[in-house]
Amino acid sequence: MSNRVVFGLLFGLVLAARLTHRSLVWVEEAYPAAAALQLIQGSELYRDLWFDKPPLSACIYLLWGAHTGWLLRLAGAVFVTLSAWLLYKLGTSLWGAREGLTAAVLLAFYLTFGIPSAVMALAPDLLMLAPHIAAVWLIAAGRPFWSGLACGIAFLINTKALYVLALCLLWNPAAVLAIALGFALPVGASLGYLALRGSLAAYWMQVWDWGFLYSRESFVQNPVTEGLRRTLNWTWFHATAAIGTGIFLAKWRKDARAIRLGLWLLLSTASVALGSRFFPRYYFQLLPAVTLLGARGLFLLPHRLRIAVLALLLIPVARFGPRYVQLAAGDTNWSDLAMSQDSAEAARIILQHASPEDTLLVWGYRPDVFVLTRLRAGTRFLDSQPLTGVIADRHLVNSEPSAPELAAKHRKELQATEPTWIVDGLAAFNPDLAITRYEDLREWLNRYSVVARTRGSIIYQRRITAPSSMPAASRGTQ
């Protein structure tokens, strides 16, 4: 079977799996998609829009018009196949087509049978995968300038790309200037553009200052214990690749590149630990090294033992496979979809009565409401983190702000705006952070009336038309 046929089948299977998610919008992908929608409608990142991720993580959604449904899932399948092909090229250059193809298949497999919200969402941690692999392949192939260029592209998706840049510099210290020049080209062009558009200072504030705050303010009480626990869980579901990696490392003296590859593994592990949160999506930075070394390690095993280790792939299939069957059958009754379904209900109510020129503010971290309504943001803010100062990874259960002064400044700015609709998607989960609890917003909020409720959202409309114009049937449940 030719490699083209293998990758064609791989793409078809990945696409089939992802299309079962075509009716879902995971919040991790909704945030960059919401930002891209505002770009389409004329806003500038950072200057007109608070966005705490690097620019390419939003701009890539422009390629398919920030649409959801089958277009988003097709983009995901293309991305997974591209990443697998890049890993194939790296593995082939190091050892041969056998190892390269095995690594590619393992990568596509693990990007299918994993935590759905992580493997489906084209969010920064996943999007960085392709340029990350490309950078390592190019430095291994003796093309340092292009490796640096790939690092620069990765950096414009996720700031953790600095770990990849460090690896490439250590891989070939003699080519520091070429790597640095390649890195500087896309990064310099991007920063220059932001400067010309008056967005550079806002970029630093939102991506770096807020990012440093996010990294410092971990909700994890015992990061070492939590890190070990989550890493062991991840290793269990990636047992085939992890065992293969262990075999490779045990026999490292037989491979002249083992020290460099081991350094890749070490730096990737350090990246996962950054911020002490250990979310499933953080492990995407570790996945390419583990799958590649794991593929090589599998072929250092006797045939029967190799088959036994490959049989461990049934663990993630058994854990995550049934959901694809459930989705294909139309069953979406999952607890981790409850908030997403509530956002869809809120969006449906708004769309029944909204005009195309209407604008929206979402209170809480519910960017999927923007994506589902495709309304223009009525403020700079796509969520309430910069308005409450409470980071989204804890704001459902904790009301202590990490940046109270900045939040107060942003709420003052908010009072000069008049979005047509407000969706408070936070009050039902943490009443202390409800939009009505902020005294400095009380007079501003008096311009609005509650026109509908869902199980998890309160929908406000600006008093231009009488609130009673909304039919009672759409007022939802209390």
Q: Where along the chain do its domains lie?
A: 3-328, 337-475
**H-type alpha helices, 97-175:** 97-110, 116-119, 124-127, 129-140, 144-155, 161-171
* Region of residue 42 (phi > 0: left; psi between -120 and 50: alpha; otherwise: beta): left
| Whole-structure pTM value | 0.92
Residue 421: helix, strand or coil by DSSP? strand
Which is it for the CA torsion 182, 187, 190, 191, positive or negative? negative
238, 272 contact by CB (below 8 A) = no
Chain centre distance of CA 373? 21
Q: What is the pLDDT of residue 184?
A: 98
Q: What is the pLDDT of residue 476?
A: 42
Q: What is the pLDDT of residue 364?
A: 93
Q: What is the pLDDT of residue 394?
A: 80
Specify the residue for token string 């058994």: 318
Report the 10 Å Cβ neighbour count for 202: 20
| List of the chain residues with pLDDT < 70 | 217-221, 254-256, 275, 464-478
CB-count burial class (<10 Å; 0-12, 13-18, 19+) for 472: exposed
Q: What is the pLDDT of residue 283?
A: 94
Q: Which two tokens stand for residue 225?
A: 């214990």
CA angle 50, 56, 59 (to 5 degrees): 75
Specify the residue for token string 């095995």: 102
CA distances from residue 183 to 60, 188, 420 in whole angstroms, order as listed = 19, 8, 43
Phi, psi of 242 (to 5 degrees): -65, -40
Q: What is the pLDDT of residue 258?
A: 86
Residue 361: helix, strand or coil by DSSP? strand
* Region of residue 278 (phi > 0: left; psi between -120 and 50: alpha; otherwise: beta): left
Q: Which two tokens stand for residue 415?
A: 């009072």
Chain centre distance of CA 433? 25
